[in-house]
Every structure is written in structure tokens, then in C-alpha cells.
Amino acid sequence: MAIPDYQTLMLPILKFTGDKREHSSWETIDNLANQFNLTDRERRELLSSGKQAVFNNRVGWARTYMKKAGLIESTRRGYFRITDKGVNVLKQNPPKIDVEFLYKFEEFREFKIFRRERPIRPREIEAESERTPEEALESAYQNLRNELANELLQQIKTSSPSLFEKIVVELLVQMGYGGSRKDAGEAVGKIGDEGIDGIIKEDRLGLDIIYIQAKRWENTVGRPEIQRFAGALQGQRARKGIFITTSNFSREAHDYASSIDSKIVLIDGD
């Protein structure tokens, strides 16, 4: 089944603590994962930041919100138990506990006022989504990042050849090639065919060289272009190459690059 949202987890958490014993965060996570029959893959699924499991994050926010409402309380780091108020809520046998339900409690309303930094107006109970606040922030950040990346890519496609060359040099230096901007700039800069070519150091010591080809294209780069690039590598006595394009590569191009002896790295517009 799909990973439940954090509001769906609130009532199961409260019921789990209904024995009035102290429970650890990890014990709760494991118990709820079993209740919802989550697969190992669902348990390991990470937030876009890659720093925390989605399910663990949602359990944590559900627990935090109920703690702010006074239904559970922390006993020590990583441990909590149900409060008398929480016991009374369970006795009412609510069909569900969500953010709207928690607004009944003054402690929770004060918590939300503090977070919003303004009073709650009449009938203004925010429509909480299925995502936790952290998930919503990460989603908003990723959307902004994608929009910025698309805008930058469009600017690169319409840039002058000299600016395109500088951008490619900067990219290679940031990836660790070329030693310095000066070294990379001298190695990369043969402009032609809406692209640039050159040979660059693999590292600062210059232990190996890498052949560079960069194309400011709109069309998909296919297998023939990669084949010609592989031939150019042999002509330059180079075993490694980087092919950069502002567009993308066909599946055949990827398959060919992975099947030959020469090591060719493909970098697309994204």
C-alpha cells in the first residue's frame, strides 16, 4: 500500500500509546510500519533531500503535532507516552485524528499562532495537505530549482559562442577537471559547428588527458555523433572523453557509449 500521510498516522500512534507505557520513536515507527503492511522499499523511501525516510518523517510530524496538542508528552530524548488528555480522547473513540481535530485544544491553537505569527481568523482552519511541512518545503524548493535550471538552460542555448565556452570551462573545473580555470580555458576553446573541442587534464597533476566535445544543440544527439567522437578519441590517443550537449542523448547513444572500450561520459542539458 502507499505510505500513509502524517494525519492518517495520528490516531494509530495515540492508540499505540494507549497502554500508558513509555515508547521509543523507533519502536513506534516499526509498529506502525507493520500495521500498514509497508514493504521494505516503502520503509526505506527517502525524502528528496535524501536525509530521512519519508515514513519516519511523517511519524515524527504526527507525533510532534499531537505533543503540541497535549495528547502525548516527551519523557526523555526519543521517548514519549500518552497523557491524561490523550487517554480521554481515546475514550471518545474518534473515527480519526487530524489537524482540524487538534484545533479543539488551546495548546495546539497557540502553537499554530506562534508558527504563523498572526492570529487565526474565524473559520480559518488551514487546509493541511497530506505532506508534512518538511515535505512541502522540499517540494517547493525542488520546483524552484527546476524552474531556475530550465531558465538557465534556455539562456545557455541562446548565449554567444564565447560565453558557452566559458560555461563549459567552468563546469569542467567544478567537476574537478583541468586543474584551474586558466589551464582549462587554454585547453578548451576550439569553436566550430555550434560547439567546442579540446583536450583537458583529468586532474591537477595531468596524469591523464580527456578529450572534450561540447555541442550547443536543440536536436537529440544520436549514436552516429558518439561513434565519430569515439573515433576522434583514437586520433588523439586519448582513452577518455566527455561529450556535453545542451539537448539530450538517444538511448542508442547511451548504449553505444557503455559498450565500447573507451570511457565516454555523456552530460546532457539537464
The CATH code belonging to domain 160-267 is 3.40.1340.10
Q: Is 51 helix (H, G, I), strand (E, B) or coil?
A: coil
**How far is it, in rounded angstroms, from Cα 179 to Cα 103?**
59
Q: Which long-range contacts (CB under 8 A, 24 or more apart) does 232-239 make?
A: 233/262, 233/264, 234/262, 236/199, 236/209, 236/211, 238/199, 238/209, 238/210, 238/211, 238/262, 239/208, 239/263
**How far is it, in rounded angstroms, from Cα 67 to Cα 90?**
15
> Tens-digit pLDDT profile for the chain (270 aa)?
689 999 999 999 999 999 999 999 999 999 999 999 999 999 999 887 788 899 999 999 999 999 999 999 999 988 999 999 999 999 999 999 999 999 999 999 888 876 554 444 444 444 455 678 778 777 777 777 777 888 888 888 888 877 887 888 888 888 887 767 777 767 676 655 545 577 777 766 666 778 888 888 888 999 999 998 888 887 777 788 889 999 999 999 999 999 988 889 999 988
pLDDT of residue 222: 94
Nine cell digits for residue 133: 511541512
Residues of the chain with CATH 3.40.1340.10: 160-267
pLDDT in tens, 83-139: 999 999 999 999 999 999 999 999 998 888 765 544 444 444 444 556 787 787 777
pLDDT of residue 243: 92
The neighbouring-strand residues paired with 200 are 210
Element housing 205 (H / E): none
